[in-house]
Amino acid sequence: MSPGHIALPADMPAPETGGCLATRQILDRIGDKWSLYIVAMLAHGPRRFNELKRGIDGISQRMLTLTLRGLERDGLVTRTMYPTIPPRVDYELTDMGQTLLTPVMALVNWANDNQAAIADARQRFDDKPEPDQVLIQGVVYERR
């Protein structure tokens, strides 16, 4: 059993098929700092390198290149070079990249719908005072 492997509940894809490893993979891809922003920018058609750079606030040249390479490697994005002067490179979602948009949007929408509830929960959790006493192994401990 590999590290990080878990016994998945019945309604998850069979673990033997590598379902949870596949999930880890795609989560490592879209869970990183920039991939989703890039995918979002490419959702409505091809974009050039600097077009992406300008559209994604805060991203460095380095991370844009690196993330695009990763997406390209995984077959989610295509890279097309035009040997013009000055050079021009277009990035575009592949068909697979397009299909990823559906589950990703479901997550984005969930996040959007529940952000207030999460913020509230955090507030309550953080504001919660330490209990005056705790009961451990049948013994009461008071706070001083």
Partner DNA sequence: CCGTATCCCCGAGGATACTG
Partner DNA sequence: CAGTATCCTCGGGGATACGG
Residue 68 and residue 56 in contact, taking contact as beta carbons nearer than 8 Å: no
Q: Among residues 79, 76, 34, 41, which one has the least CA distance to residue 59?
A: 34
Among 63, 72, 89, 98, binds its own copies (CB under 8 A): 72
Q: Which does 133 bind (CB under 5 to 8 A by kind): DNA, its own copies, none?
A: none
Q: Does 66 bind its own copies (CB under 8 A)?
A: no
| Site mask for DNA (CB under 7 A), range 53-82, x = bound | -----xxxxxx-x-xxx---------x---
Integer CA distances (angstroms), 9 to 5, 12, 15, 137, in order: 13, 6, 9, 32
Closest separation in Å from C-beta 144 to its own copies: 20
Q: Which does 93 bind (CB under 5 to 8 A by kind): DNA, its own copies, none?
A: none
Alpha-carbon 63 to chain mean position: 15
Q: Does 108 bind its own copies (CB under 8 A)?
A: yes
* CA 16 – CA 21 distance, rounded (Å): 10
Residue count at the site for DNA (CB under 7 A)?
27
